[in-house]
Amino acid sequence: MLTFMASDSEEEVCDERTSLMSAESPTPRSCQDGRQGLEDGESAAQWRSQESEEDHEEEDPDRYVCSGVPGRPPGLEEELTLKYGAKHVIMLFVPVTLCMIVVVATIKSVRFYTEKNGQLIYTPFSEDTPSVGQRLLNSVLNTLIMISVIVTMTIFLVVLYKYRCYKFIHGWLIMSSLMLLFLFTYIYLGEVLKTYNVAMDYPTLFLTVWNFGAVGMVCIHWKGPLVLQQAYLIMISALMALVFIKYLPEWSAWVILGAISVYDLVAVLCPKGPLRMLVETAQERNEPIFPALIYSSAMVWTVGMAKLDPSSQGALQLPYDPEMGGVKLGLGDFIFYSVLVGKAAATGSGDWNTTLACFVAILIGLCLTLLLLAVFKKALPALPISITFGLIFYFSTDNLVRPFMDTLASHQLYI
C-alpha cells in the first residue's frame, strides 16, 4: 500500500464523456483546471471560472473593447463576473464544508485515525527525538522529501501529457481511483464499524463495498448525475485527507502544508511552472485537461448550441444559461483544506474552538481567492491564501485564544 501510493495520482485525462462533448461542440472549451495528483503535485491545484474563458472566446469584439477601455461603463462580461462571483462562493462553500465536516467527524469519533501507526515512506524521519532542534530538522527534511516527490511526479505527468501518452495517464488514474474507492473505503468502513461495535458479515461488506466502488468508478470516470459525482469526489477527498492525517507526523504535517502552498503559488503562476505549462498545453491543443478529478459545480455547457445532447446526463434538466458558468476546484485543494482542519481537530487538545477558527479562516481565504479569480480571470492557485490564514489562525488560536476562552469559561464570563 505504501509503495503503491507512489504512483497514486488523482488526475484524469479526457474521459469518454468530455471527449464526446468536446467532439460535438468544437468552440466551447470546458474550462478545466489542471489538477495534479496527490503525490505528484496536486498541491498545485488551480481553477478558473468557466464564464471567463467563454467570455474571452465568444464575446464579440465590441464588448471586449468596452471592458478594456477605462472610463467606459463595464461591459456585460464584468457585470456578470461580479454578479456571479458571490454565487460561486456559495457553490464552493458547501462542498468544502461537507468535506471538512466528514473529516472532522471521523477524527473525533474513530480512534484509528489519530493513532500513531507508522509513517509513509515519503516521510522517513521520525519525530520521536528528545531535542526540539532535532525534531524540527527531521520535519524539514521530511517536507523536502515529500515536496520533491510531488514535484517529480508533476513534471513526469506534464512530460507524459506533452508527449501524448494518454493511455498511460488514463490507466494510472483508473488504478488510483480503484484503490481509493475500494481499498480505502474498506478500511474506513472497517474502522467505523469497529468504533460503533456493529457486526457486519463478510458477504454484506463485500456487497456494500462493491456497489459503492463500482458506482463511484462509473460516476467519476464515465457519466453520472452531477450530484452523485460531486458526492463521490467529496468522499474520496475526505478519505485521502484522513490517510494524510493518520500517517503524517505532527510537525511535518504543518511544515508540509506551508511548503505546499508555496509550491502551489510557484507552480501555477511562474511562466515555467509545471502546472501552468500543463494548462497552456491543454489550451493549445484545445482539450479539456483532467476533467474527472476536478470538482465542478456545474455541468460543462456547450456554448452557442441550443440543441440538447442526448448522451450527456443530468445537466439537461437545467435551463441553458450561457453566463451561468461553474467554478472548478481541484481535489487537491479539498484534500489539503481538510488535512489542515483535521489536524487542528486531532491535535488541538480536544478543543473545538481551534477547529472552528481554522474552518472560518479557510472559508474566508477561499472567498478572497474567488475574488481574485473574478478579477484576474485566469487559473489561480487556491491553496496559498487559505492555508496561510488557516495556519495563522491555528497557531494563534491554540496558543493565545484557547487559554483566554478557557479562563473565561471556568469563571463563567461572557464577552
Partner 1 sequence: MTLCAVESQLASGETARPGQAFFWLVSLLFSSLIWFTTATLIGNKDEPREKYLLIFGVLISVLIQEMFRFAYYKLLKKASEGLKTINPYEKAPSMRLLAYVSGLGFGIMSGVFSFVNTLSDSLGPGTVGIHGDPPQFFLYSAFMTLVITLLHVFWGIVFFDGCEKKKWYTLLVVLLSHLLVSALTLISPHYGLNLVLAYIIMVLMGVWAFFVSGGSCRSLKLCLLCQDKDFLLFNQRAR
Q: Which residues are catalytic?
A: 264, 333
Pairing of strands 328-330, 294-296: antiparallel
C-alpha to C-alpha distance for 10 and 22, rounded to whole angstroms: 22
Q: Is 363 in the site for partner 1 (CB under 8 A)?
A: yes
Q: Is 385 in the site for partner 1 (CB under 8 A)?
A: no
C-alpha to C-alpha distance for 180 and 175, rounded to whole angstroms: 9
Task: Report CA torsion sign: 312, 316, 318, 323.
Answer: positive
DSSP H or E run through 119: none
Looking only at residues 291 through 350 of this chain, which bind partner 1 when binding is defined by CB under 8 A?
350
Only one of the segments 13-21, 166-174, 365-373, 380-388 lies at the binding site for partner 1 (rule: CB under 8 A); that segment is: 365-373
Q: Is 351 in the site for partner 1 (CB under 8 A)?
A: yes
3 state DSSP class of 201:
coil
Q: Is 63 in the site for partner 1 (CB under 8 A)?
A: no
Q: Where are the alpha helices (DSSP H) in 118-225?
A: 132-162, 166-178, 185-195, 202-221
Name the minimum Å distance from CB 359 to partner 1. Answer: 10
N-to-C CA span, the chain? 50
The letter for the amino acid at 238 is A
Residue from 244, 367, 386, 390 binding partner 1 (CB under 8 A): 367
Q: Is 71 in the site for partner 1 (CB under 8 A)?
A: no
Overall residue count recorded for the chain in this entry: 415
Q: Is 412 in the site for partner 1 (CB under 8 A)?
A: yes
Q: How far is CA 88 from the centre of its chain?
A: 16
User: Residue-wise over 331-360: b if at least 16 C-beta within 10 A, else e?
Assistant: bbbbbbbbbbbbbbbbbbeebebbbbbbbe
Residue from 370, 383, 385, 387 binding partner 1 (CB under 8 A): 370
- Which whole-number Å values give the CA distances from 78 to 28, 212, 376, in the listed order? 20, 43, 11
Cβ-based nearer residue to partner 1, 121 or 392: 392
Q: Is 364 in the site for partner 1 (CB under 8 A)?
A: yes
C-alpha to C-alpha distance for 358 and 365, rounded to whole angstroms: 10
Name the minimum Å distance from CB 109 to partner 1. Answer: 11
Residue from 23, 90, 132, 199 binding partner 1 (CB under 8 A): 90
Q: Is 405 in the site for partner 1 (CB under 8 A)?
A: yes
Only one of the segments 20-28, 198-206, 314-322, 367-375 lies at the binding site for partner 1 (rule: CB under 8 A); that segment is: 367-375
Q: Where are the alpha helices (DSSP H) in 274-330?
A: 274-285
Residue from 2, 82, 214, 308 binding partner 1 (CB under 8 A): 82
- The answer to whether 30 and 18 have CB atoms below 8 angstroms apart is yes
Q: Is 356 in the site for partner 1 (CB under 8 A)?
A: yes
Q: Is 89 in the site for partner 1 (CB under 8 A)?
A: yes
DSSP summary character for residue 47: E
Q: Is 401 in the site for partner 1 (CB under 8 A)?
A: yes
Helix axes 76-109, 185-195, angle to 10 degrees: 50
Pairing of strands 46-47, 328-330: unpaired
Number of residues this chain uses to bind partner 1 (CB under 8 A): 44
Residue from 1, 27, 56, 83 binding partner 1 (CB under 8 A): 83
Name the minimum Å distance from CB 101 to partner 1. Answer: 14
Name the minimum Å distance from CB 370 to partner 1. Answer: 8
3 state DSSP class of 8:
coil
- The answer to whether 359 and 352 have CB atoms below 8 angstroms apart is no
Cβ-based nearer residue to partner 1, 227 or 409: 409
Name the minimum Å distance from CB 396 to partner 1. Answer: 6
Name the minimum Å distance from CB 241 to partner 1. Answer: 22
Only one of the segments 237-245, 254-262, 324-332, 363-371 lies at the binding site for partner 1 (rule: CB under 8 A); that segment is: 363-371
Name the minimum Å distance from CB 235 to partner 1. Answer: 24
Summarize as ranges the residues that interact with partner 1 (CB under 8 A): 74, 78-79, 81-83, 85-87, 89-90, 93, 350-353, 356-357, 360-361, 363-364, 367, 370-371, 374-375, 393, 396-397, 400-401, 403-409, 411-415
